[in-house]
Structure 1
Amino acid sequence: MKTFVRAGALALMLAAAAAPAAFAQTARTTADSMFQTTTLNLSAYGETRVAPDKATINLGVVTEAPTAAAALAANSEQMTTVIAALRKAGIPDKDIQTSGLNLNAQYDYVQNEPPKLRGYQASNQVTITVNDLARLGVAVDATVKAGVNQVNGISFGLKDPTAAENAARQDAVKALAAKADLYARATGHRVSRLVNLSEGGSYVPSPPPAPMMAYARMEKDSGGAPISAGELNVRVDITGLYELSR
Structure 2
Amino acid sequence: MRRLPTAPSLAPAFLALALGTAFLPLSPFSATVASAQEARTPREPIISVSGEGKAAVAPDMAILSLAVVRQAKTADAAVSANNTAMSEVLAAIKAEGIADRDVQTSSFAIYPQYRQVAPKDGIEPPQEIIGYEVSNTLTLKVRDLEKLGGLIDKTVKLGVNQGGQIEFTNTNTDEVMTQARKAAVAEALAKAKTLTEAAGVKLGRIMEISENSAPPMAPPMMRMTMAKDSGNGVPVAAGETSYTVNVNVVFSIDP
Aligned residue in 2 for 1:240: 249
CA contact (8 A) 2:219 2:238 kept: no
TM-score scaled by structure 1?
Answer: 0.87
Partner of 2:169: 157
Aligned-partner SS, 1:16: coil
Relative distance call for 1:139 and 1:8 in structure 2 (3 A) is farther
CA distance in 2 between counterparts of 1:203 and 1:117 reads 43
1:89–1:142: 8 Å Cα contact kept in structure 2? no
- Number of the residue aligned with 2:80: 73
Q: 1:134 aligns with which of 143, 146, 156?
A: 146
CA distance in 1, matches of 2:89, 2:227: 15
SS in 2 for 1:194: strand
User: Could you tell me which amino acid in structure 2 is paired with residue 102 of structure 1?
Assistant: A
1:50–1:231 contact (8 Å) kept in structure 2: yes
RMSD (Å) for aligned C-alpha atoms: 2.1
Identity of aligned residues (%): 34
- 1:152 is displaced (CA, Å) by 4.1
2:137 aligns to what SS in structure 1?
strand
8 Å contact from structure 1 (residues 90, 135) kept in 2? no
The answer as to 2:202 corresponding to 1:195 is no
Matched, 1:59 2:66: yes
1:211 aligns with 2:220: no
What's the counterpart of residue 83 of structure 1?
A: 90
SS of the equivalent of 2:84 reads helix
- Letter paired with 2:222: A
* Separation (CA, whole Å) in 1 of partners of 2:106 and 2:235: 25
Greater CA drift, 185-194 or 4-13: 4-13
Which residue of 2 is the match for residue 7 of structure 1? Answer: 18
Superposition TM-score, scaled by structure 2 size: 0.85
Deviations 1:203-242 (A, max 9, x none): 3122332122663552x23xx3210111111100011111
One-letter amino acid of the structure 1 residue matched with residue 97 of structure 2: G
SS at match of 1:119: strand
**Residue 191 of structure 2 corresponds to residue 182 of structure 1:** no
Q: Cα deviations across residues 129-185 of structure 1 (Å, max 9, x unaligned)? A: 112212211221221121111124111111121211110000011111110000011
CA distance in 1, matches of 2:246, 2:229: 42
1:38-84 per-residue CA deviation (whole Å, 9 max, x = no partner) reads 32111110001111111111111111111111111111111111111
CA distance in 1: counterparts of 2:203 and 2:212, whole angstroms: 23
The amino acid across from 1:84 in the alignment is A
Equivalent of 1:229, from 229, 232, 238? 238
Q: Could you list the runs of 5+ residues in structure 1 that have no partner in the other structure?
A: none
Letter in 2 for 1:241: V
Q: Which has the higher helix share?
A: 1
Conserved in 2, the CA contact under 8 Å of 1:46 and 1:170? yes
Aligned residues: 237
